[in-house]
Chain A
Amino acid sequence: MASVFQPIPPRPAPVRTTGYVAWARANLFGDWRSTTTTIVLALVALWLLPGMAQWAIFQAVFHPSLESCQAARGTGACWAVVAEKYRYIILGRYPYDEQWRPVVATLLLMGLLGVSCTRRFWRPWLVPLWIAVLAGYFVLMAGGVLGLSKVTTDLWGGLPLTIMLATLGIVLAFPLAVLVALGRRSKLPAIRTMCIVYVELVRGVPLISVLFMASFLFPLFMPVGKSPDVLLRVLVGITLFAAAYLAESVRGGLQAVPKGQVEAAATLGLTYWQTQRKIVLPQALAMVVPAVMNNFIAIFKDTSLVTIVSLYELTGSLGLALNADADWRPYKLEGYFFIAAIYFAFCFAMSRYSLWIEKQVSVSRTR
């Protein structure tokens, strides 16, 4: 039976499901509701964006000139205030000629943070490196040795203070948090109770009351004249505050370690501390790294509160820079936007890192 090859007509190509057009169709014009939303939002954007762009960019004043700012008042932003005052805003009252010192010290600290955030460098020598860098930081900031002039802590301010308070707060809080978290899971009732009371007490009150206590009250709790510097007191307050929150994150990690691990360690004859150090903590801490990052972001933002107790970190130094200057004070909004951008840059970068490290950690868990 001879049959002749009869081609059937080709089927039409499937609707494209990739590419810009298809994406737009699925995501912007999926059904009538989506389409309406897109159109409405586009109209709103058309209505709002040109005005905002005019204000923020096209009509704005960038070069530090007070006259142009006053001329542009109401129509354009005065970014000139940043150009004029950026050193005061970022570095606070630190003596002008010595301002390279906080810059170098802060870069050092940030470099160290960067190193500490890289998994490759998670080695024991990180601890001495931290101690060395912190020592260098304080020598640079405070001076009084190595031919550096002495700068008292009430002159420290701006971004270096923000970064220092946040970094030291979290670093010092960490060991305390681990101990409190262990204590909260301990079988010893007195220790467990104390840890619970500490954590719940601190988490129940606002940071500002802790700062009030550190700043106003603490000197009263000490023998006359034996009270440490206010910066130190505030740092201790932030540390104790952060430790309570951090302890809860660490406890979450501890709880996630399977019970079998502890039982296996017990059959091997490890003591309590050996079990914690070699079995439980390494697993738990790897899991809490993202949570620690989130705590760090929270503390970084919370350092803005120390301005209420008269330490001039970034938010405070902006006030300091603009409040006393009648000419530039009207442009405070632009100043706020500037430091908001700084905070945002730091926090957003850290939250991205937190997401990345979360993925890294969960890779090892799902394997």
Chain B
Amino acid sequence: MTGRPPPRRRGWSWRSQAFRGLVYQVLAAAVIGLALWFLAHNTVENMRARGIQSGFGFLLQPAGFDIGESVIPYDALEQNWKAFLVGVLNTLRVAVVGIVMATLLGTLLGIGRFSRNAIVRGLCYGYVELFRNIPVLLQLLVWYLFFTDVLPPISEPLSVGGAFFLSKAGFSFPVPVWGLGQALAAAGAALCVPIAWAYRRWAIRQFELTAKARSTFWAPIAIVIAGSFAGWIAGGAPTAWNYPVAGAFTMEGGASATPEFLGVLLGLVLYTAAFIAEVVRAGIASVAHGQVEAAGSLGLSRGQTMRLVILPQALRVIIPPMTSQYLNLTKNSSLAVAIGYPDVVSIATTALNNTGRAVECIAIIMLVYLITSLSTAGFMNWYNARAAIKER
């Protein structure tokens, strides 16, 4: 090569890339800053000119309105923040139950696409195409209409064995009367969870050492159930159940899910399951076919191949898109407001109208979803890192 050293980079120049980069950045920041300032300034100015009160102080004032369903005890005389909390918990309730159910249904549908039976394949395909091509809001509305319009009135509910009721008041089911037996059963189950977990760890280690397979799934579950059963026996084996009975306006006794909750849940689960099925299908399809053949030559059954070979590998491909489906489900739960389920959006709009704090209330909605989204994404990233291929 030539002996001349490359020209020394000068520290600074009008024409240098670094300087231009700086200019771009300063300009962009300035324009965005100005735009934000413009909007904020207008808002403050508008509020001042009309004497609109603002601030988050209203959260400490009494809410003054009732909420149809709540996970925690709530009274209309409590403060607004408690009402918001009720809304957030209602959102989380429908989101968590929805995520679990949608995952189960979606995984089954996704695996079903690889069934040997053509009818099963066709049904799974038809389901996915049908449900993912119709807006989720429309699905919610249809389910809600189904629950409130098509089902019989409370006075003559559909009943299974006199214990489960389905009517315009929702789905009612019996719950055990809470007593010593139930408390001890719960305590027993809680006590056995660490034992079951320890057993599972031990079984896996033994398998790795001696290749002697022990049950790592059913046995721990059996341990927990046994613990719970023992607690129940110790508590005198109570068998009293609280059965729902049709009252004048609602089903009294037992426990029930309102049509609003069921409508949101069913709509979200059926819609999201279609997307999860596609995620699972793509994940399974991404596993090299050689893996299946190798599993076959080892003599694994189809079920075993799926459980031990394909799904663990597919999981790596599945987790990231699955995360975004979970987030979508959570965000879509905000549509509950259209069918009267008291989620955080519904509570916020009520509070907004009672207090007039529009900016604050909508900011709270956004913040709640942002925090939920970011923390779900964080958890799934952690899980993804665990499931990723360990490079050795």
Mark A residues whose CB is within 8 Å of B: 23, 26-28, 30-31, 34, 37-38, 41-42, 187-191, 194, 200-201, 203-209, 212-213, 216-217, 220-224, 297, 301-302, 304-305, 307-308, 315, 330, 332-333, 336-337, 339-340, 343-344, 347-348, 351
Contacts and interface: CB of A to CB of B under 8 A. Distances in A.
B43 A221 contact: yes
B257 interface: no
25 contacts: A27-B118, A34-B116, A41-B119, A187-B21, A188-B21, A189-B25, A190-B29, A191-B25, A194-B29, A203-B327, A205-B373, A208-B335, A213-B362, A221-B42, A297-B133, A304-B137, A307-B137, A315-B141, A333-B150, A336-B138, A339-B138, A343-B138, A347-B133, A351-B129, A351-B133
A74 to B, nearest CB: 10
Contact of A216 (B116, B332, B358): B358
B167 interface: no
Closest 6 CB pairs of A and B: A27-B118, A347-B133, A190-B25, A206-B331, A301-B135, A204-B373
Contact of B119 (A28, A191, A224, A304): A28
Given A206-B345, A212-B362, A221-B43, 9 more contacts: A30-B116, A41-B123, A203-B373, A205-B365, A208-B334, A208-B335, A212-B365, A332-B145, A343-B138
A301 B136 contact: yes
A34 B332 CA distance: 37
A340 B138 contact: yes
B332 A206 contact: yes
A27 B119 CA distance: 8
Contacts of A38: 117, 119
Contacts of B141: 315, 336
Interface in B20-50: 21, 24-26, 28-29, 32, 39-40, 42-43, 45-47, 49
A149 B337 CA distance: 37
Given A27-B118, A336-B142, A194 B21 contact: no
A252 B118 CA distance: 35
B135 A302 contact: yes
Give the bracket for the number of chain B residues in contact with chain A. 35 or more
Given A194-B28, A333-B145, A209 B362 contact: yes
B385 interface: no
Interface string B83-123: 00000000000000000000000000000000011111001
Interface in B307-338: 327, 331-332, 334-335, 337-338
A58 to B, nearest CB: 20
A269 B105 CA distance: 54
B190 interface: no
B125 interface: no
B69 to A, nearest CB: 20
Nearest to B119: A41
Nearest to A34: B117
B137 A205 contact: no
Contacts of A220: 42-43, 46-47, 358-359
B199 interface: no
A169 B46 CA distance: 30
B116 A205 contact: no
B137 A348 contact: no
Determine chain A's interface SS by DSSP, over half rule.
helix
Determine chain B's interface SS by DSSP, over half rule.
helix
Contacts of B132: 347
Nearest to A213: B362
A344 B130 contact: yes
Given A217-B359, A221-B42, A348-B129, A37 B117 contact: yes
A341 B266 CA distance: 20
A300 to B, nearest CB: 8
Contacts of A191: 24-25, 28
Nearest to A341: B134
Contacts of A336: 138, 141-142, 145
B134 A315 contact: no
Contacts of A212: 349, 362, 365
A337 B120 CA distance: 25
B135 A223 contact: no
Nearest to A218: B39
Contacts of A209: 334, 345, 362, 365-366, 369
A30 B45 CA distance: 75
B149 interface: yes
A304 B142 CA distance: 14
Nearest to A305: B137
Given A217-B358, A217-B359, A27 B117 contact: yes
Among B21, B47, B145, the one with the most A-chain Cβ atoms within 10 Å of its Cβ is B21
Contact of B135 (A27, A41, A308, A315): A315
A217 B362 contact: yes
A205 B369 contact: yes
B374 interface: yes
A30 B138 contact: no
B142 A333 contact: yes
Contact of B42 (A30, A34, A223): A223
